[in-house]
Chains A and B, each alone.
Chain A
Amino acid sequence: DTAVSQTPKYLVTQMGNDKSIKCEQNLGHDTMYWYKQDSKKFLKIMFSYNNKELIINETVPNRFSPKSPDKAHLNLHINSLELGDSAVYFCASSPPGAIPYSEQYFGPGTRLTVT
């Protein structure tokens, strides 16, 4: 199936641990994103990569580090996890084109719970 996929779907871990979330898209898109959706359901952009180049880097603690090994993958590594990092993390991608603000296709989300 063509889609945006994320692993794992659920992640429960303790404070202070380091964890990674992986994202892959097989839609041929050039741009990929990481969003955080908190308990109040606000969806906030964290990072965006276009053709492996970081283009959006919002005010996010430097414990969060994105890595894009190729334009089909965008991983998110989180160091020293804190309780406030508990949220659902969505990966998304958007196609190339003359209109940069194309619709974004979201992955299923990774629910991170930090205890």
Chain B
Amino acid sequence: GQNIDQPTEMTATEGAIVQINCTYQTSGFNGLFWYQQHAGEAPTFLSYNVLDGLEEKGRFSSFLSRSKGYSYLLLKELQMKDSASYLCAVAGGTSYGKLTFGQGTILTVHP
């Protein structure tokens, strides 16, 4: 089976940097995704890591360590609009395309 763990809530200040961690245990691994979901809206894709290391995309970066079953999403120069839920999802197992999501981390950015 698969188990994904991430903090339930985090708060940060506008302009700051925040790191959202995700740990996972999975049978079979084909990559890790981060999605952003604003309240009442659909999840939207942020990043995908399948190899160890850091992937950078503008203000957002995502890191993966497969040996440690660990990933983080780094958000820089926080803006109020970054207040959202951040979902860690693991692609694994034997089912084609199956993603298993964590419960999400609700990030609140304060002025």
Contacts and interface: CB of A to CB of B under 8 A. Distances in A.
Question: Range of interface residues on chain A?
Answer: 20 to 34
B45 A42 contact: no
Nearest to B44: A106
A31 B30 CA distance: 17
Given A100-B30, A104-B45, A107-B42, A55 B104 contact: no
Contact of B42 (A42, A44, A108): A108
Interface of A: 31, 33, 40-45, 48, 50, 55-56, 90, 94, 99-109
Given A106-B42, A107-B42, 19 more contacts: A41-B85, A41-B103, A41-B104, A42-B104, A43-B101, A45-B98, A45-B99, A50-B96, A55-B97, A56-B97, A56-B98, A99-B50, A100-B97, A101-B50, A104-B99, A105-B45, A106-B44, A109-B41, A109-B42
6 contacts: A43-B89, A45-B98, A55-B95, A100-B97, A103-B48, A104-B45
Contacts of B85: 41
Interface residues of B, number: 23
A100 B96 contact: yes
B97 A31 contact: yes
Contacts of B31: 99, 101
